[in-house]
Amino acid sequence: MARVQRRAPRRSFGAVRKLPSGRYQARYPGSDGVLRAAPETYETKREAEVFLAQVQADQTRGDWMDPTAGEVLFVEYATRWIDERGVAPTTDELYRRLLRLHLEPTFGQLYVNVISPSKVRTWRAERRRATGATTVAKSYRLLKAIMETAVEDDMIRKNPCRIRGAGREEADERPVATVAQVFALADVIGLRWRLLVLLGAFASMRPEELAELRRGDIDLDAGLVWVRRAAPELNTGRRVVGDPKSRAGRREIVLPAFVHVDVRQHLDWFAQPGPDGLVFIGEKGAALRGTTFGRKWRKARDTVGLPGEFRFYDLRHTGNTLAADTGAKLKDLMVRAGQSSERAQLIYQHSNKEHQRKLAADIDTDVRRQRVRAVESVGEGATVHPLVPRPRDIDGLVSREA
């Protein structure tokens, strides 16, 4: 009886064909119905079939990814990413500068789906040699955020930014002025800008908040200032009026009493008229500009003898540190400074040698007091704990505390 030759079962998913070169090509329909060829050819038919089985399994699980989805130039995708964020003008300016100067030269003309972990590591190493660590950390965080969105858009399977701690900034500790130095700055810089210095330090106000402060935001009788708006100045010189840095930035600040006289004098002498008048304006009546004030600030800073890296913003750093040193609760400090995170406020709770000496002195005083009480209790016939010193051990101490 003649044997019946059985035909191989027809493939239910995709197709495999032998090419003139002798290698095998696999083709399959994507989830969108478009027929696609495998990214490479295979030496054996079996290898091509394994590839098709993997693709079919990915589509069944919903894990299949269009291999052409990530074929978008990084610079185009990154630019669109920034456009869609809707961030504050200063943040938008920062993102575009980091993209233009630090990301685009390396990744700009690459497809998003070919940016690999090794390319990211090489780029970061080169940037660290060329620029500051803080700038590299900011650039890395931006790159990581963009690529994470590419993962969410099903353009790539995994984020290539996988360097642990690469986005963490380790900036140098900002300098803090003394109270005497703050008043010296206020005296040297002149009457028109005196209150600007005092509010920057003792009200912990940001420069952009001071630039948009209005007469109607100040209640002299109650000693209050309301922060309702901010006007950051971009590198282009454009002044952008809008909401404060965060929701917590909209706040009520109680002014220390020693500032009240300066506030009243400044409003009488320099502020624009009317409840909507700007509190701080230039000599010609225009809104406060960073370039104009910057020259006066640097001259005053150098006259007082503060270091060259001491910025006007460091007055806020000084004020927040002074507030933290009062022992106020963390929540009260956050509200005063207009901060939405505890981490931001903890920056100002320094622990320098002076603080450590004060802490040691407080511990010393408390321990001495408790030891004296222990001695007194021994004298009254109380039971002595083994760790409590005998009277003879602290005879001198008792007389000194007395």
Per-residue pLDDT tens digits for 127-136: 999 998 889 9
Alpha-carbon separation of residue 330 from 17, 250, 327 (angstroms): 70, 18, 9
Give the Cα separation of 197 and 185 in Å (integer).
7
Alpha carbon 111 to its chain centroid, in Å, reads: 29
- Measured in degrees and rounded to the nearest 5, phi and psi for residue 395 equal -55, -45
Give the Cα separation of 134 and 218 in Å (integer).
37
Give the Cα separation of 298 and 307 in Å (integer).
10
Cα atoms in the 13 Å half-sphere on the side-chain side of 328: 19
Per-residue pLDDT tens digits for 291-309: 778 899 999 999 999 999 9
Identify the residue whose tokens are 């040297």.
188
Give the Cα separation of 139 and 128 in Å (integer).
11
Please tell me whether residues 219 and 364 are part of one structural domain: no
Per-residue pLDDT of the chain (402 residues), as tens digits, is 455 555 555 567 888 888 999 899 888 887 777 788 887 888 998 998 888 888 888 778 777 777 777 789 999 999 999 999 988 888 999 999 999 999 999 999 999 999 999 999 999 999 999 998 889 999 999 999 999 999 998 888 899 999 999 998 876 677 889 999 999 999 999 999 999 999 999 998 999 999 999 999 999 899 999 999 998 888 888 888 888 877 888 999 999 999 999 999 999 999 999 999 999 998 888 888 877 788 999 999 999 999 999 999 999 888 888 887 777 777 777 878 787 776 665 665 554 556 556 666 767 787 778 778 777 776 655 554 444 445 444 444 444 443
Query: 24 - beta bridge partners?
Result: 18, 42
The count of structural domains within the chain is: 4
Residue 171 in any domain: the answer is: no
Per-residue pLDDT tens digits for 116-173: 999 999 999 999 999 988 899 999 999 999 999 999 988 888 999 999 999 988 766 7
Residue 37 in any domain: the answer is: yes
Please tell me whether residues 303 and 199 are part of one structural domain: yes
Please tell me whether residues 224 and 133 are part of one structural domain: no
Please tell me whether residues 192 and 328 are part of one structural domain: yes
Give the Cα separation of 27 and 48 in Å (integer).
9
R_g of the chain computed on alpha carbons:
34
Residue 7 in any domain: the answer is: no
Give the Cα separation of 373 and 49 in Å (integer).
87
Please tell me whether residues 19 and 85 are part of one structural domain: no
- Where residue 247 sits, what CATH number does that domain have? 1.10.443.10
The set of long-range contacts for 328-334, using a CB threshold of 8 Å and a minimum separation of 24, is 334/248
pTM: 0.67
Residue 90 in any domain: the answer is: yes
Residue 8 in any domain: the answer is: no
Residue 290 in any domain: the answer is: yes
Please tell me whether residues 193 and 333 are part of one structural domain: yes
Residue 311's nearest CA partner among 201, 191, 194, 161 is 201
Cα atoms in the 13 Å half-sphere on the side-chain side of 114: 11
Residue 169 in any domain: the answer is: no
- Where residue 56 sits, what CATH number does that domain have? 3.30.160
Please tell me whether residues 277 and 396 are part of one structural domain: no
Please tell me whether residues 267 and 340 are part of one structural domain: yes
Please tell me whether residues 264 and 384 are part of one structural domain: no
Please tell me whether residues 201 and 222 are part of one structural domain: yes
What is the H or E stretch that residue 252 is in?
strand 251-254
Q: Are 264 and 220 in contact (CB under 8 A)?
A: yes
Please tell me whether residues 294 and 362 are part of one structural domain: no
Instruction: Please identify, among 117, 137, 152, the residue that sits at the C-terminal boundary of a domain.
Output: 152
In terms of DSSP bridges, do strands 35-37 and 24-29 run parallel, antiparallel, or are they unpaired? antiparallel
Please tell me whether residues 110 and 35 are part of one structural domain: no
What is the H or E stretch that residue 224 is in?
strand 224-227
Residue 387's pLDDT is 45
Q: What angle do CA 270, 274, 280 make, to 5 degrees?
A: 35
Tell me which residue range forms the domain holding 357: 353-401
What single string gives the DSSP state of each residue in 147-211? Answer: HHHHHHTTS-SS-S---TTTT---PPPPP---HHHHHHHHHHH-HHHHHHHHHHHHS---HHHHH
Residue 6 in any domain: the answer is: no
Determine the 3-state secondary structure of 198 from DSSP: helix
In the sheet with 24-29, reading across from the earlier edge strand, the strands are 15-18, 24-29, 35-37
Alpha-carbon separation of residue 130 from 97, 134, 168 (angstroms): 16, 12, 18
